[in-house]
Structure formats: structure tokens, C-alpha cells
Amino acid sequence: MAKTKIKKKNRFFLVDYENVHMSGLAGIEELSKSDTVYIFYSANADSLSFEAMKLLSSAKAKIEYVKVSTVGRNALDFQLSSFVGYLLGKYEDARCYIVSNDKGYANVQIFWFGQGERVKLVPCIRDRKSLATKRSDVEKVVEELDLTDEEKENVTELIWNRLKVGSPHLSHIKVGINNDLVQRFGGEKTKVIFNVIRPLIK
């Protein structure tokens, strides 16, 4: 029998400490008590500096340490990636941020992006805010289109849902938006809409 997801809005930050070390924790002081930070570490990076310990102890977010005791190439990467799936399966409205400079995690983000889940690869905790486009930007551009109010609302929702989930590759966002628009409005109208909203996809 399938497990019922826990209905709890929460953000999870999975830190590949072996990869980012102290720099990945930048912005942890901005998190709230409802956030959880999982620090994945191995024998290759199993010690914290005094500065890091001070920063972690003063953070409002819940801090969990996950030691990767198995050996082998990419052992930490595999376990962290698996844990993302666990969190998304357990929590109905989970947002997961993989904190690493390892671009291999982009494949995890792309996969979950395709499932409509919110997973983002960032170099540090603070960069979770790096979405350049705001919903108000989308609404402003869509307002210029020759569409009914209902159509404008639909276009805004379609575009914003893709932008806020994001993807490490702009091409995935563009294709996703284009496909959504074609399905809703057909090819000809999509061309007109896409030409207007293209500057937002960055």
C-alpha cells in the first residue's frame, strides 16, 4: 500500500560538504525554523572548522548530519540523490535544494523537473533566491498580449509554473513552456505568445 505524503510545507537543503565545504553554507543564517539542512559528509571531509561550527550552532534551521560510510567513487552523490527522492515522496509540498558545485547533480534536477517536482542545484544556500524573473514580470509581459483575461491568466500560470521549478538548462525550460502553450493554445498562437515572453526565460 502506498504511503500517504505528509502535508507540510518545507524546504530541504542537502549539502554535499565534500564538494562545497564552508562556502556552501553561505546564507544558512537566513533560513527559518521550518527549514532543514542535511549535511552529507564522508571520510574525505569529516571535520568542521570552528567558524563552520559557530555558524551552524547559531542557525535557526534544523541541522542533520548524514555520514556516508560506504566507500567507492560517487558514494556520497548516490546517497544524497536517493535522499532527494525520499524527501519528495514523504512530503507533499517539499522543495529540495542540492548544494554542490558538482554539475552531475543537474541530472537529478532535470529528472524531477520533468515530474513537476521542485528540485534545484545551487552552489550555496543563499543562491536559492537566484530566480531572476518574478511573477509580476510575467504578468506585466502577458498583459501586452491580445488575449482574453482568462487566456492571460492561463498563460501566466503555465509560464510561472515552469520558471519557478527551473532547470539547469534554459533549453529545458523553453521546451517545457512551448509544449504547455501548444497543448493549450495550438501552434500559431503559441508562436505569438512565445516571441513576447522569450526575454523572461533567462
pLDDT tens digits along 116-146:
888 999 889 987 765 556 788 888 889 988 8
Mean pLDDT value of segment 137-158: 90
Q: Which positions ≥6 away from 33 have C-beta within 8 Å?
A: 60, 61, 62
Residue 159 has pLDDT above 70, yes or no: yes
Q: What cell was used for 112?
A: 524531477
Q: Which residues pair with 120 in a beta bridge?
A: 97
Q: Which positions ≥6 away from 106 have C-beta within 8 Å?
A: 121, 168, 169
- Calpha distance 190→118 (Å, rounded): 25
Decide: 163 and 130 in contact? Cβ < 8 Å.
no
pTM: 0.66
